[in-house]
Structure 1
């Protein structure tokens, strides 16, 4: 479509502020942004919609316009809701660089402009692709009966012969075409999600190309627009992704298409990007549906943290139970999960646009609470089966995503997870979620998204049966998360089962003390092993694990008892310790745990 066609639609109500001589430019797409530097998301020919949140003073307009012109955009449309009018400095900058500028009345939602452009651009493409996009739009906006993203993917399969799936940032299957054949295996989904996150963190421009088991895929990012209200329009959907790229990457969905888009014509690429925009509307709808559950979790958390009476907390839990577990008819047990996302402040600059370039803050100043909240919701959408599910089939309750209530306070995200009441003969000691099982399927993708400057740590409490136990469960989950934080790795978790006395104590020993203690006990053994290949360290570990039993340890190591006695004697000689003494055994045990 041509730019001048935008002025012909009364529904859009756009006013031209400059660039009358450039109205014959072609528009190939649309992008909504309030980033100070959105160049990584631009491919040329777009109508850029902005709410002007990037503008702090008049000096910001010139560099913003220069970036758009360098990226080859067709025009800029600025909303009037934030400032009441489009500032003169932006008008002057656009005129200087011959960039057409439109004003968007505050009564017009950016989503309305986006839909119009996508529909009109599609209308000029060969092969009746306009009909495909129009049907996509109608299906996605016609309510529950429309079928959501699955119907969109069915149309891609039937009309364009494309097998496609919508995946979350962790590789969870959100939607898939009935025409796409067998569902993507979990391993393939996790690999595609990891490729998508790694490419996004590296600053590459989508679609990303990946090959798994000899099959080529093209990955189109589905950016969420629901992070905060836009400065223009006021209508539903008029939102923008304006947070640090490290946050948005971890929560973006992706459209995975079984095809190599490297040789696609621009028309087909634009069509798939338009489909990704339409699916983003469904993502916003699902995010909005979590608002009530988030509020319930926040209210309960505030009561717990302020020391409210158990009766008051119990009353609030009774309100939450029917919302989270409708139809079960029994007061659930509860479990608390605490998560935290932290970013390195030194050397933590992500590839591509920096945090300062994206949102005007220094690297490391990301508000980790909302990021952790989004990730924890994603992790808990479909946790592995737990013992608490025995006798309570999933089909009898709501969709798993309706059982998530996650609040955030400071840098922490805190989930209140309801569990159906276990039977009377079951003590519930092992019921509920298990820390490592939660992260098993998502560790790979999230590690790629966290790259080399981020960490996710997670702690899980035991199940509690009453409001009185909820405060203790919260502290237990926090302790477990701190234990996880003391471990190496980008994605770590710990559960209440791991809170033995030495596990609780070790994370809080200063690093220099830990290093000195382990070096004093273990370095002589390591040096000896390097020189003589004597395997004293493995022998020590096995000996302690066998509780000092000579026979069991010799059998485990496939050694003669005399050989084992020689090695233990050598350990004692090198360290000056006596492995028959409880104190020395304990010191070796702790040193091995800290090494």
Structure 2
């Protein structure tokens, strides 16, 4: 803004005392000070506001004004509340150094002037930034990628002093952690994603505002041009896109922003959406490879044919890899209540997000993942370039529980109370011959996960022991009757006598029926333990020395 514009606003209470010929100077900021030498805090272009507390006598004005002029200050505004009229020695010093001088009426707070200048300057800079953003959009849509979201976020940081980040719906920082903005803790990213998904599912109007640890963030949805925009424009179910769209998190309260700035941020989200669609297009080859491999596996193709297709896929997923990798299969399913909406595409996007290796180098680590989808199910082929082993020699790869450690909370917010995500993870396989078994193993694990409670559940191949595999598929009424017949007499006895028969039974089975080990674990005398076990057998008409009865108790405890 120009200095001249300050005089056109009566509410600021400014009166020009000198410097009429310099009123076309541009104001880039504002600073309030009563220091005798504020030069260390000045960068040039400021309007300086002062209450004159630094002035002890007429000789102080000359050095103070000289310091301001040397620092590139564009004007000085002196308050009349302390001394009444602005001293003549200050007027003369400003005239000698050609520094415009304003008097501030005592009824006007410096904060009022500061807020007005900052708003006007930000508006001008936003207009300049909008032009840059528009130019960047043309570059990205008409030619090679123009640097991705980080370039736009750098512009927000440098031109509007806004820290901003692009986050995935699972809470992963996609862009923004760098020179333009500090890195956000993973816990904050997860909370921001959860708040965004909750607000979207509730139908609240964006931007969504949330305060975390004393800091306010404004959240802007980034609609995918391929999926999100079409869904929104057509009035389709928001569940088709809520778990797929990115979001822009800005460290600011957008509640009192002018429309111009809100429009600018909307333009930024549209620009980032272009990059999102570009990345989706780049995944087309990997998705096609996954689809071809899985079709061969499911139609019973010869292992040699599957192996040939895997050799084609490996260089695409792991460029430069010298040897064929091992593979894991991950199956995911998204299901919605009271809806015929297919969740396969949403599950595909989620797997591509969840399976990103945070330690992978490069701007797009999810380039190493191939995911196909059909109906409500998505299937991922995950290459493992070097399968490590633990101290017991067991192969290590993707672990089901670890996949959901950071994403369970935000994704649950997006699923709300009418959706579920279930995931199954296979063991690593060394060749094409094992891929069919890995796919079935991942599907079994997913069904085990689906039998659990919770909106987001996962199970791995380690959990497919016989009882874990079978119990989820026993009808609920049968499970309840079986459990009640064996355990209800013990629970009732414990309730009346505080005898702890149930904990004793659990410990006895965990110790494989060893009296000494069980007594030691429970800190009991062996005779006391024998009394409790005898009471369990009496109440249930079972014999804990028999393998069949031990197994029944074991299953009943697992189902309870």
TM-score (norm 2): 0.73
SS at match of 2:373: strand
Contact 1:169 1:193 (C-alpha < 8 Å) held by counterparts: yes
2:346 paired residue among 350, 364, 371? 371
Q: 1:137–1:534: structure 2 CA closer, same or farther, 3 Å change rule?
A: farther
Deviation per CA, 1:327-367: give whole Å up to 9, x if none: 0111111111111111122xxxxxxxxxxxxxxxxxx1011
Structure 1 residue 553 displacement after superposition: 2.5
Deviation per CA, 1:449-489: give whole Å up to 9, x if none: 11111111111111111111111111111111111111111
Using the alignment, how far apart are the partners of 1:263 and 1:565 within structure 2? 73
Q: 1:487–1:309: structure 2 CA closer, same or farther, 3 Å change rule?
A: same
Deviates more, 1:330-339 or 1:502-511: 502-511
Q: 1:554–1:127: structure 2 CA closer, same or farther, 3 Å change rule?
A: farther
Using the alignment, how far apart are the partners of 2:493 and 2:137 within structure 1? 68
User: What is residue 497 of structure 2 aligned with on the other side?
Assistant: 532
Using the alignment, how far apart are the partners of 1:254 and 1:229 within structure 2? 14
Using the alignment, how far apart are the partners of 1:534 and 1:426 within structure 2? 41
Aligned length: 438
Structure 1 residue 422 displacement after superposition: 4.1
SS at match of 2:131: helix
1:330 aligns with 2:323: yes
Deviates more, 1:492-501 or 1:427-436: 427-436
SS at match of 1:488: coil
Using the alignment, how far apart are the partners of 1:263 and 1:550 within structure 2? 71
Deviation per CA, 1:543-577: give whole Å up to 9, x if none: 21121223322333333434433333332222222
User: What is residue 568 of structure 1 aligned with on the other side?
Assistant: 533
SS at match of 1:226: coil
User: What is residue 209 of structure 1 aligned with on the other side?
Assistant: 209
Taking the TM superposition and a 5 Å limit, the aligned residue runs for 1:222-233 are 222-227=222-227
Q: 1:539–1:428: structure 2 CA closer, same or farther, 3 Å change rule?
A: closer
Contact 1:158 1:179 (C-alpha < 8 Å) held by counterparts: no
1:290 paired residue among 249, 259, 283? 283
1:380 paired residue among 351, 355, 358? 355
Contact 1:227 1:242 (C-alpha < 8 Å) held by counterparts: no
Q: 1:264–1:571: structure 2 CA closer, same or farther, 3 Å change rule?
A: farther
Larger radius of gyration: 2
User: What is residue 135 of structure 1 aligned with on the other side?
Assistant: 132
Using the alignment, how far apart are the partners of 2:432 and 2:315 within structure 1? 16
1:273 paired residue among 266, 269, 293? 266
Contact 1:461 1:477 (C-alpha < 8 Å) held by counterparts: yes
SS at match of 1:146: coil
Taking the TM superposition and a 5 Å limit, the aligned residue runs for 1:70-89 are none
1:320 aligns with 2:313: yes
1:257 aligns with 2:257: no
Using the alignment, how far apart are the partners of 2:225 and 2:145 within structure 1? 23
Q: 1:188–1:125: structure 2 CA closer, same or farther, 3 Å change rule?
A: closer
Deviation per CA, 1:470-529: give whole Å up to 9, x if none: 111111111111111111111111111111111121122111111111111122222233
Structure 1 residue 177 displacement after superposition: 5.2
Q: 1:427–1:472: structure 2 CA closer, same or farther, 3 Å change rule?
A: farther
Greater RCO (CA < 8 Å, at least 6 residues apart):
1
Contact 1:369 1:409 (C-alpha < 8 Å) held by counterparts: yes
User: What is residue 157 of structure 1 aligned with on the other side?
Assistant: 157
Structure 1 residue 586 displacement after superposition: 0.7
User: What is residue 148 of structure 1 aligned with on the other side?
Assistant: 148
User: What is residue 39 of structure 1 aligned with on the other side?
Assistant: none
Contact 1:225 1:240 (C-alpha < 8 Å) held by counterparts: no
Using the alignment, how far apart are the partners of 1:306 and 1:258 within structure 2? 52
Deviation per CA, 1:311-333: give whole Å up to 9, x if none: 11111111111100110111111
Using the alignment, how far apart are the partners of 1:424 and 1:495 within structure 2? 17
User: What is residue 237 of structure 2 aligned with on the other side?
Assistant: 244
Using the alignment, how far apart are the partners of 2:128 and 2:306 within structure 1? 54
TM-score (norm 1): 0.69
Using the alignment, how far apart are the partners of 2:382 and 2:257 within structure 1? 45
Q: 1:448–1:423: structure 2 CA closer, same or farther, 3 Å change rule?
A: closer
Contact 1:429 1:462 (C-alpha < 8 Å) held by counterparts: no
Using the alignment, how far apart are the partners of 2:388 and 2:480 within structure 1? 48
Using the alignment, how far apart are the partners of 1:594 and 1:476 within structure 2? 22
1:305 aligns with 2:270: no
Structure 1 residue 426 displacement after superposition: 10
Deviation per CA, 1:108-139: give whole Å up to 9, x if none: xxxxxxxxxxxxxxxx9931312212222434
2:546 paired residue among 578, 581, 584? 581
1:550 aligns with 2:543: no
Using the alignment, how far apart are the partners of 2:555 and 2:169 within structure 1? 38
Contact 2:209 2:217 (C-alpha < 8 Å) held by counterparts: yes
Q: CA RMSD in A?
A: 2.7
User: What is residue 467 of structure 1 aligned with on the other side?
Assistant: 432
Q: Which runs of 5+ in 2 are unaligned?
A: 1-120
